[in-house]
Chains A and B, each alone.
Chain A
Amino acid sequence: MTLQSLKAALLSLAFLGLFLCIWHAATLPKAESQAPSDEYAKLLGKGAKKSDGFPSLGQMGEVALGHLRDPAYDRGPNDKGIAIQLGHSLARVGAGYLLAILFAVPLGFLIGMSPLLYQALNPFIQVLKPISPLAWMPLALYTIKDSSISGIFVIFICSVWPMLINTAFGVASVRRDWLAVAKTLEVKPLRKAFAVILPAAAPTILTGMRISIGIAWLVIVAAEMLVGGTGIGYFVWNEWNNLNLTNVIFAILVIGVMGMLLDLAIGRLQKAVTYVE
């Protein structure tokens, strides 16, 4: 480890410590408001552990441990452990994302190889790209008539654009010299695509995929909050129902960590295909 990365790690830890200190200070127990009578206080659940309000670090740790200790319980269709919820979300993201790859990479290739198509399709892509997943949802529900497929569709439609654009851009900007060499050697079109263009454009394509996985993971939480049923987004929504911030914060942490892992995985792939000219 170099000196700089050591320093960076120490600094990260210091930031974390500072953040936890602020959290701790902000959640120190306050004096409870005085209730008019004991009976009234009991009806408000005072004295007992109340689930609302911002949790202290201790409460947070306790809840997190509770979830991690029993991550795969299943108590009926609306109450499942965090691992099962995460599994449902990942499966949806996987399906939508895979569909997006299957659609975007070949199409991007075509668009990239033909400047005419690129120009013709560009306006559509630019209009469709910035649409929020939540805006697609009602339309999807109405036309597809199935909420879980709608979820997958929304992930697909939101994660397809960065891949499409990046693939097209990568393919279009392969160095002319290499294409010229391929031409002189009379390489057949298919071979040219796979042996010259694909490796050359791979880093750009992977960049698009990396952006897309981030978007897909953003979208799933929103979509599941809307559609309900299963998944980490539903978990957040269900705990919001109960105004249980502790669980919501825990879920936020899980979502963050999972998103980072997904990004890292694609990042690895990206490194593998990068080349130095």
Chain B
Amino acid sequence: MSAFRDPFDPNNRLGAACRCGKHRSQAEHDAAAENLPDARYETLNRRVLETAAMRALFPVDVVRRRFLRAVGASTASAVVSTFFPFGALEALAQARGKPEKTDLKIGFIPITCATPLIMADPLGFYRDQGLKVSLMKTAGWALIRDKMLNKEHDASHFLSPMPIAISMGLGSVAQPMRVMTVQNINGQAITLATKHKDKRDPKQWKGFRFAVPFDYSMHNFLLRYYVAEHGLDPDTDIQIRVTPPPEMVANLRAGNIDGYLGPDPFNQRAVYDEVGFIHMLSKDLWDGHPCCAFGVSEAFVKENPNTFAALYRAVLTAARMAREAKNRSLIAKVIAPANYLNQPETVIEQVLTGKFADGLGNVKTVPDRADFDPFPWHSMAVWILTQMKRWGYVKGDVDYRRIAEQVFLVTDARKHMAELDMKAPAASYAKLKVMGKEFDPAQPDKYLAGFAIRKAA
């Protein structure tokens, strides 16, 4: 409803530059109106059309208000509807942009990174867009990849490096995948087994066994970055093994691993189960780093442009809601049940609200421990590519910009964010800071050359 000011409300603020008062200019208003959420038409349509008619009948605000005060909003609405064939107009509006495919399967891994795409189901955001979505809990990232390649899933929760790797054919057959939005920023942590309470300096970690969720994950790249900054070579001084997130806590308890850089809720879960403590939030490595992404295959975008747009709106609506701190407790409640994350609610709530027990006896408050900025920065993709090159996952010359711009759909994200009144940055490249070291996306190779510890090319 937010995109349209209600002209039937006599107390609305005046003086904005477009007809409805919500946009900076008429052009922007028209652009937004053109891309209005399709399924929303079902509920919004009549109101929107009436609104337009009302504005056309009474272009002068003062006159309209006087009229409304005199007869009342509902009478005014009834009178206006006698003049216009609203039914026909509504049908016309609905015919445009109908989703080509409405029954969708979306894969996810039960972690809080996927909060927006999960909450969109119980909160009805997919339904609002006319989509019937089944969220398929999946056992691990390799399976997420395989089910996307097989087209068993229409869209999926990804680790943000995965669509890049799949598009480049690393670790699988090459199939172009696209990142629609980043799901979450921050929200990961390094968890260590309780017995390592006194070994807080990474220099003491020689010989440690760590788990990460997947080779092509931010977790892997951040952990490698972190230990390398402290002088350890992640390939020779520590052991990094791939473990599906849900199995990390069990492995930590069994003593199979010394720690992990893993997604929440499994960091918090280790604290809850009193087997580990949170050594460091990933936010303190790189504040605002992307983690997971929401993506589809390129073929899906081509075959189902309207479904693609509807998915965009649903997931962005969820992200917008998830960004607000006041909604986080409610979100924890809706995503905790067995159908979704299957975790104790208090664990999820601690992750999302940022007021948590750290496993060492302290209660910490870090409101931005997890956040859900959906904008898919090209600079993030370039950073990921530099790390893939640094650790030998990709060899030879990399066309950073071309890959980043192909896989991360900034233009579409920006367009759909504008529709929902979300602020999207004008640039798609920005300088970043990872552990105090600046990364300039314009000079990735120079950045790469600055690392002393890297896999020999």
Smallest CB separation, A145 vs chain B (Å): 4
| Interface contact tally, CB-CB below 8 A | 103
In the complex the two chains form, what is the Cα distance from A70 to B406 in whole Å?
A: 49
A237 proximity list for chain B (CB < 8 A): 139, 246
In the complex the two chains form, what is the Cα distance from A145 to B342 in whole Å?
A: 28
The chain A residue sitting closest to B134, CB to CB, is A77
Find out whether the CB atom of A142 lies under 8 angstroms from the CB atom of B146: yes
In the complex the two chains form, what is the Cα distance from A45 to B272 in whole Å?
A: 7
B342 proximity list for chain A (CB < 8 A): 78-79, 238-239, 241-242
B339 proximity list for chain A (CB < 8 A): 75-79
Q: Indicate whether A44 sits within 8 Å of B250 (C-beta atoms), given known contacts A141-B150, A243-B269, A243-B273.
A: no
Find out whether the CB atom of A241 lies under 8 angstroms from the CB atom of B246: yes
The chain A residue sitting closest to B269, CB to CB, is A243
Smallest CB separation, A144 vs chain B (Å): 9
B343 proximity list for chain A (CB < 8 A): 241-242
Smallest CB separation, B195 vs chain A (Å): 15
Find out whether the CB atom of A40 lies under 8 angstroms from the CB atom of B337: no
Smallest CB separation, B205 vs chain A (Å): 26
| A52 contacts B by Cβ under 8 Å | yes
B147 proximity list for chain A (CB < 8 A): 147
Q: Indicate whether A44 sits within 8 Å of B271 (C-beta atoms), given known contacts A51-B344, A79-B339, A242-B343.
A: yes
Find out whether the CB atom of B246 lies under 8 angstroms from the CB atom of A78: no
Find out whether the CB atom of B143 lies under 8 angstroms from the CB atom of A35: no
A-binding segment of B161-169, B355-363, B366-374:
B355-363
The 7 lowest CB-CB distance pairs between A and B, nearest first, are: A79-B339, A76-B339, A43-B357, A36-B361, A241-B246, A145-B150, A79-B338
A sample of 20 more A-B contacts (CB under 8 A), given A78-B135, A78-B339, A241-B110, is: A36-B361, A37-B361, A40-B363, A42-B346, A44-B272, A44-B357, A48-B346, A76-B121, A76-B134, A76-B135, A78-B137, A78-B342, A79-B338, A147-B152, A226-B139, A226-B143, A228-B137, A228-B139, A229-B136, A242-B343
Q: A residues touching B (Cβ–Cβ < 8 Å)? A: 33, 35-37, 39-40, 42-45, 48, 50-52, 75-79, 141-142, 145-147, 225-229, 237-243
Q: B residues touching A (Cβ–Cβ < 8 Å)? A: 110, 121, 134-139, 143, 146-147, 149-152, 246-247, 249-250, 269, 271-274, 337-340, 342-344, 346-347, 350, 355-357, 361-363
